[in-house]
């Protein structure tokens, strides 16, 4: 058997984790021959509930799951991990924006950023807890882990956009490729239909309804999280867990030639974004957990307006948390 892969999940007794842990443990993500050790972090009041989750993990008798650690200490949770999936934090309720969570959730990522120094040298970090781009910025700035290891989750938005485009065009999901969500996981994100493709053709050549693309599609993707909260009375959980696992898979599998995936990473100035912001970009990976930004995509003046708007939003969020940036 290969060496175990060690995966930390925070907020492990929460809704998203409940849809994520069993898939991580089952061999679905890292392979049926790769042992998995789970390191589960919670806050003290949730440790009892976490005990129940650990019992259920054992009760699945997954041959790949070789060890489970449950702790309320971030340093224990992150010690030696190859992946850290940072979910633990408060979800928003109806009528709130994700940015309204900054004051309550932001401070969590100061201590967790520092504790990530205990992780394995090859660690990759995905921040899911909202507002995830700015929480990721906080964690990254409080950590000695190299900046290129940090991601904030845009994959749920990418999945939503692909699914809506496929439904509108009457095609299968596989036929919709090259979807990038620029910027922030917020209601100002820009889901780029101009560079997206259906059967290899630019989406506007297939879906000729420009008003639907510019208005309905963009707004529906931007506001899908709020729509789920309104309908379900709680924020998305299974689809969020699925999207987080998609990020891991996207990084450990070579990206199909010509395609890309969406994730928010630390900008080095690409597309004119301020260096150091955690910005949603189109990425490719050779499958070794590294990634690179696809450069040179063009945008119409209309799209550039959307792009600048979300960039300004991330700048404002950075200003709000400036005291937490180490
Ligand atoms: P939840 O309330 O069901 O679970 C959150 C868990 O985190 C709770 O068990 C809580 O005890 C735990 N927690 C709180 N503070 C913690 C800390 N400091 N360390 C460890 N654990 C801690 O919420 P959920 O539905 O699982 O959502 C979690 C977060 O994910 C929310 O912020 C939500 O908004 C966000 N989210 C993000 C996306 C995305 O696309 N980025 C999608 C869905 C949800
Ligand atoms: C989502 O997009 O579903 C999550 O970010 C949860 C939320 O608050 O919308």
Residue that the structure tokens 């939503």 belong to: 160
- Residue to mutate (ligand 2; options 94, 225, 231; most atoms within 8 A of CB): 225
User: What tokens appear for 275 in the block?
Assistant: 């260096």
Q: Which atom of ligand 2 is nearest to the CA of 226?
A: 9
Asked if 84 contacts 123 with a C-beta cutoff of 8 angstroms, the reply is yes
The verdict on pTM exceeding 0.75 is yes
Assigned token pair, 309: 């708007």
How many CB atoms within 10 Å of residue 26? 17
**DSSP result, 191-222:** EESSS-EETTEEHHHH---HHIIIIIIHHHHH
Q: Are 169 and 161 in contact (CB under 8 A)?
A: no
* Nearest atom, ligand 1, residue 14 CA: 4
Q: Which of 85, 1, 2 is nearest to 38 (CA)?
A: 85
Q: In the prediction, which pLDDT does 267 show? A: 98
pLDDT value for 2: 85
Q: Which residues contact 121 (CB under 8 A, 6 or more apart)?
A: none
**Rounded Cα–Cα distance for residues 73 and 79 (Å):** 10
Q: Which residue puts its alpha carbon closest to atom 22 of ligand 1?
A: 88
pLDDT of residue 93: 86
What average pLDDT score do residues 246-272 get?
A: 98
Hey, which residues does 280 pair with through a beta bridge?
A: 183, 264
Ligand 2 close to Cβ of residue 137 (< 6 A) = no
Q: How far is CA 162 from CA 16, 100, 156, 221, in A?
A: 21, 27, 10, 10
For residue 41 and ligand 2, the question of a CB distance below 6 A is answered with no
pLDDT bracket for residue 1 (50, 70, 90): low
pLDDT reading at 90 higher than 70: yes
What is the set of active-site residues?
185
Strand partners, 242: none
Flag whether pLDDT at 82 surpasses 90.
Answer: yes
Beta-carbon count within 10 A of 216 CB: 13
| Two tokens, residue 234 | 């709680």
Whether the per-residue pLDDT at 236 is higher than 90: the answer is yes
Report the mean per-residue pLDDT for the chain: 97
Tens of pLDDT, residue by residue over 29-65, are: 999 999 999 999 999 999 999 999 999 999 999 999 9
Sorted by where each starts, the structural domains of the chain and their CATH numbers stand as 5-152 (3.40.50.720), 155-320 (3.90.110.10)
For residues 86 and 125, is the Cβ–Cβ distance under 8 A?
A: yes
Ligand nearest to the CA of 12: 1
Task: State the pLDDT confidence band at 94, using cuts at 50, 70 and 90.
Answer: confident
Q: Whose CA is nearest to atom 9 of ligand 2?
A: 225
Q: What pLDDT sits at residue 326?
A: 86
Please give the share of the chain, as a percent, with pLDDT higher than 70. 100
Closest by Cα among 95, 89, 88, 91 to 223: 95
């Amino acid at each position: 058997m290969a060496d175990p892969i060690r995966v930390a999940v925070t907020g492990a007794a929460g809704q998203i984790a409940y849809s994520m842990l069993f898939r991580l443990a089952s061999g679905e993500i890292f392979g049926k021959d790769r042992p998995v050790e789970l390191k589960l972090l919670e806050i003290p009041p949730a440790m009892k509930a976490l005990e129940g989750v650990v019992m259920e993990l054992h009760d699945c008798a997954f041959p790949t799951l070789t060890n489970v650690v449950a702790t309320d200490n971030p340093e224990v949770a992150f010690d030696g991990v190859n992946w850290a999936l940072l979910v633990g934090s408060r979800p928003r309720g109806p009528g709130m924006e994700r940015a309204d969570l900054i004051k309550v959730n932001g401070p969590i990522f100061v201590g967790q950023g520092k504790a990530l120094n205990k992780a394995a040298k090859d660690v990759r970090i995905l921040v899911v807890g909202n507002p995830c781009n700015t929480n990721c910025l906080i964690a990254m700035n409080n950590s000695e882990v190299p900046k290129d290891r940090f991601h904030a989750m845009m994959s749920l938005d990418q999945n939503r956009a692909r699914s809506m485009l496929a439904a509108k065009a009457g095609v299968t999901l596989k036929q919709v490729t090259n979807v990038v969500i620029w910027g922030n996981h917020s209601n100002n994100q820009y889901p780029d239909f101009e560079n997206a493709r259906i059967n290899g053709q630019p989406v506007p050549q297939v879906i000729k309804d420009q008003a639907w693309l510019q208005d309905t599609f963009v707004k529906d993707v931007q506001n899908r999280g709020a729509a789920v909260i309104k309908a379900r009375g709680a924020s998305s959980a299974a689809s969020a867990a699925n999207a987080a696992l998609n990020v891991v898979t996207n990084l450990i599998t070579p990206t199909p030639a010509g395609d890309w995936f969406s994730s928010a990473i630390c900008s080095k100035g690409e597309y004119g974004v301020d260096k150091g912001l955690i910005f949603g970009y189109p990425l490719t990976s050779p499958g070794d957990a590294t990634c690179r930004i696809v450069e040179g995509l063009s945008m119409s003046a209309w799209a550039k307006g959307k792009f600048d708007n979300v960039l300004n939003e991330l700048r404002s969020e950075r200003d709000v948390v400036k005291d937490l940036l180490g």
